[in-house]
Amino acid sequence: MNLIVGLGNPEDKYKSNRHNVGFMVVDSIVGDLSPSNITKSAFKGELYKKSNILLLKPMTYMNLSGESVRAVVDYYKPSKVIVIHDDLELKFGTLRFKLGGGHGGHNGLKSIDSHIGKDYYRVRVGIGRPEEKSKVVSYVLSDFSQKQKEYLDKIVNKAKEGALALCEMELSEVAQKYSMKFDFDKEDLN
């Protein structure tokens, strides 16, 4: 069993935020696979199942994502946990894959680390960062720019393909095949 987790915040007002790109990817997978909805209140999130794949959207808000992940991990004991999240350290249009590592100040990852440890796969979706550090919170909780939205479907699709590939393939193979970095002709899209 493989668990794919998309990080984000519930409520419609957050739906198109940069911080919700993990939800966007999981929603895209759900749309493609038409899995069974197996949500239970104990899981603290929306949970879907198709074959050997579980798809989770924690409904605990970002800072408590680990509670939901832990509940599903304890119940299903997946062999792989794959977390899809926004990453300030990567420019918009960049997609990277890794196993373990630090949280980089990401509160969703921090929460997951505290509940299940750091030994899980990460699909890192670059969102760029604001010039001023003091604006990070408002930046991640704002929507993608109009220019960024033109490329967002392509990025979400590639992240979706990579996350599903991680269920079957080795990390090095997935990273080689699905990592991406758009060349925007030096145009700043952040």
What Å distances lie between residue 64 and 10, 57, 144, CA to CA? 12, 12, 23
Contact 109, 31 (CB under 8 A): no
Cα-based distances in Å from 1 to 51, 52, 59, 98, 173: 8, 5, 22, 19, 20
Catalytic residue of the set 19, 85, 106, 115: 19
The answer to whether 115 is a known catalytic residue is: no
Q: Taking the CA of residue 35 as centre, how many other CA atoms within 13 Å lie in the half-sphere pointing to its CB?
A: 20
Q: How far apart are CA 119 and CA 78, in angstroms?
A: 13
Give the residue from 90, 81, 58 showing the smallest Cα distance to 166: 81
The residues annotated as belonging to the active site are 19
